[in-house]
């Protein structure tokens, strides 16, 4: 989706302002927001790509003005509302009014360190050899799906070169729609700054974008 999250190349947001000695959390609520976002991920009611799409789908005026933990919390609430895990009224009052739905997994405190350490690898056995090789010149496709994609706008319909093959990974464009993991070969593709941003781009720079095979055409 061409939403507010797809920020690469925008020029309207001003300078970066790093905070000196930034604390890990700026308040207790951020700690709990992190814990609930990660914790509900383990419940298995959605996958990573579905949760990213939920955040991207928040209203632009919200996405562009709130902190990232606020985005996480609102994304989480929407995911739960859509699945009937909670109701609007319950979110407002904090009081349970409907029976809980069964979730796939509730991780206990004892199990949590191992669950965090295991993470969620997305590499999968390929069903076919990689169609492209390091050194191949490629052009990214020109797509504008209203659903989730990880091909940023600034890198669409651009000429680049494959510099690495990462393996075969879950394909977010399918996985976010509940169409299964549909694993695809994943490549590191390097683009010159002039190819991406025109003749006035800062010279001698390049950007490497990780692209799944369906995003690429060999030139």
Partner 1 sequence: MGQNHDHDHSEWSDMELKVKTLESLLLEKGYVDQAALDVIVETYEHKVGPRNGAQVVAKAWADPNYLQRLRDDASSAIAELGFTGRQGEHMRVVENTPDTHNMVVCTLCSCYPWSVLGLPPVWYKSAPYRSRAVSEPRKVLSEFDVSLPEDTNIQVWDSTAEMRYLVIPLRPEGTDGWSEEKLADLVTRDSMIGTGLALSPDEVSA
Which parts of 106-135 interact with partner 1 (CB under 8 A)? 106-109, 111-113, 116-123
Q: How far is the CB of 179 from partner 1 (least distance, A)?
A: 18
Q: Which is nearer to partner 1, 48 or 136 (CB)?
A: 48
- Least Cα distance to 155 among 93, 209, 219, 76 occurs for 209
Q: Which is nearer to partner 1, 96 or 131 (CB)?
A: 96
Strand, helix or coil for residue 152: coil
* Pattern 36-55, partner 1, x by CB under 8 A: x-xxx--x--------x--x
Q: Rule CB under 8 A: which of 9-38 touch partner 1?
A: 9-19, 22, 24-29, 31-36, 38
Find the part of the chain contacting partner 1 (CB under 8 A) among 127-135, 136-144, 173-181, 191-199. 191-199
Two structure tokens written together for 1: 């989706």
* Tokens 């690495």 belong to residue: 164
Tell me which of 61, 65, 88, 146 binds partner 1, using CB under 8 A.
Answer: 65
* Tokens 């390091």 belong to residue: 134
217, β-bridge pairs: 139
Please provide the distance, in angstroms rounded to a whole number, between the alpha carbons at the two ends of the chain.
26
Q: How far is the CB of 30 from partner 1 (least distance, A)?
A: 8
Do residues 213 and 185 touch, judged by C-beta distance below 8 A? yes
CA–CA separation, 52 vs 33, rounded Å?
15
Q: How far is the CB of 144 from partner 1 (least distance, A)?
A: 15
Tell me which of 59, 96, 178, 179 binds partner 1, using CB under 8 A.
Answer: 96
Angle (deg, nearest 10), helices 28-42 and 48-56: 130
Two structure tokens written together for 42: 């383990």
Q: How far is the CB of 23 from partner 1 (least distance, A)?
A: 10
Neighbouring C-beta atoms of residue 95, cutoff 10 Å: 7
Total residues at the site for partner 1 (CB under 8 A)? 101
* Pattern 128-167, partner 1, x by CB under 8 A: ----------------------xxx-xx--------x-xx
């Amino acid at each position: 989706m061409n939403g507010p999250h797809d920020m690469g190349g925008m020029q309207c947001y001003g300078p970066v302002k790093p905070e000196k000695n930034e604390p890990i959390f700026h308040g207790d609520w951020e700690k709990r927001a992190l814990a609930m976002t990660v914790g509900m991920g383990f419940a298995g009611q959605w996958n990573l790509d579905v949760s990213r799409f939920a955040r991207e789908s928040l209203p632009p005026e919200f996405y562009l003005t709130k902190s990232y933990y606020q985005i996480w919390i609102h994304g989480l609430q929407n995911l739960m509302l859509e699945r009937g895990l909670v109701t609007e009224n319950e979110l407002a009052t904090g009081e349970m009014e409907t029976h809980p739905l069964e979730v796939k997994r509730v991780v206990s405190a004892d199990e949590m360190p191992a669950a965090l350490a295991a993470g969620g690898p997305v590499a999968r056995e390929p069903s076919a050899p990689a169609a492209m090789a390091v050194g191949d010149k490629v052009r990214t496709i020109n797509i504008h799906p209203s659903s989730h994609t990880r091909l940023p706008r600034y890198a669409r319909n651009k000429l680049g070169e494959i510099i690495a093959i990462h393996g075969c990974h879950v394909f977010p464009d399918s996985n976010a729609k509940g169409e299964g993991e549909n694993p695809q070969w994943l490549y590191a593709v390097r683009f010159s700054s002039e190819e991406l941003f025109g003749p006035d781009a800062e010279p001698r720079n390049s950007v490497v974008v990780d692209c799944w095979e369906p995003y690429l055409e060999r030139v």
